[in-house]
């Protein structure tokens, strides 16, 4: 088991319900972590208010102020390092990150996606699932790599698609599972139970040891 709480930096762009789930799990002592800083590319993101209400440092880094994604990510890395972050969580962060961030925190950038990857990557997972006609949808917690929602999978949770579901209804039920899966995956990382195996051939795979 790792020593001390997992030092998290959380990147957000919107309301921050997954950030709230992280705070809730920490407060319930279900997650051995501390949120060191919350960073948003949008000054009006309500997630920042959630952090400020708990006295957690916040930072707004406007992506429009940078010439490219790499420069933007370099500034994010600087702020994360200033706050001694060891694990980065993308919690509704609506920007594609580059190798600048990924390489700064190898196997320590975590994303939660509202689909059962590798199906339906991108920004409209629930709507894509409905359009395809699947009977089971869900969410995926994964490490971030250079692709879009292609990184090694840590955890998944399934949600049945109900008759008459629209994208909003399905997304809401998936979000409930995101709020459970993300803190649990982070706790496994905090306890040192997560390992990424990279075979000579094939995709990297994540092994999560039981307690």
What confidence tens digit (pLDDT) does each residue in 118-136 have? 999 998 999 999 999 999 9
**Mean pLDDT computed over 137-151:** 95
What's the pTM value of the predicted model, to 2 decimals? 0.95
112 vs 4, 102, 157, CA distance in Å?
24, 15, 11
Q: Taking 70 as the threshold, does the pLDDT of residue 2 lie above it?
A: no
Residue 4 pLDDT class (50, 70, 90 cuts)? confident
**Binning pLDDT at 50, 70 and 90, where does residue 1 land?**
very low
Query: Could you report how far apart the first and last alpha carbons of the chain are, in Å?
Result: 10
Which domains can be identified in the chain, with CATH numbers? 6-203 (3.40.50.170)
Cβ atoms within 10 Å, residue 138: 26
Average pLDDT in the 153-170 region? Answer: 97
Averaged over 138-160, what is the pLDDT?
96
* Average pLDDT over every residue of 143-172: 96
113 is catalytic: yes
| Catalytic residue of the set 63, 113, 124, 142 | 113
Residues 1, 140: Cα–Cα separation, whole Å: 24
CA atoms within 13 A on the CB side of 60: 13
Backbone CA torsion sign across 184, 146, 86, 192: positive
Nearest to 12 by CA among 46, 39, 44, 36: 39
pLDDT of residue 3: 58
pLDDT at residue number 165: 96
* Encoded tokens for 48: 């920042």
Averaged pLDDT of the chain: 96
The 10s digit of each residue's pLDDT in 40-78 is 999 999 999 999 999 999 999 999 999 999 999 999 999
d(CA 22, CA 166): 27
In residues, how long is the chain? 211
């Amino acid at each position: 088991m790792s020593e001390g709480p997992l030092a998290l930096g959380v990147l957000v762009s919107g309301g921050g319900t997954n950030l709230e789930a992280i705070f809730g799990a920490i407060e319930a002592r279900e997650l051995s972590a501390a949120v060191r800083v919350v960073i948003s590319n949008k000054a009006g993101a309500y997630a920042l208010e959630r952090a400020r209400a708990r006295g957690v440092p916040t930072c707004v880094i406007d992506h429009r102020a940078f010439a490219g994604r790499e420069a933007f990510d370099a500034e994010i890395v600087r702020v994360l390092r200033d706050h001694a972050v060891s694990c980065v969580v993308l919690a509704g962060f609506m920007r594609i990150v580059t190798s600048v961030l990924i390489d700064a925190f190898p196997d320590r950038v975590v994303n939660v996606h509202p689909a059962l990857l590798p199906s339906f990557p991108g920004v409209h997972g629930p709507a894509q699932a409905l359009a395809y006609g699947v009977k089971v949808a869900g969410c995926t917690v994964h490490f971030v790599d250079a692709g879009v929602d292609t990184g090694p999978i840590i955890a998944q949770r399934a949600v049945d698609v109900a008759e008459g579901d629209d994208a909003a209804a399905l997304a809401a039920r998936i979000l409930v599972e995101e709020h459970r899966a993300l803190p649990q995956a982070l706790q496994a990382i905090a306890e040192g139970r997560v390992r990424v195996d990279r075979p000579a051939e094939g995709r990297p795979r994540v092994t999560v040891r039981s307690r």
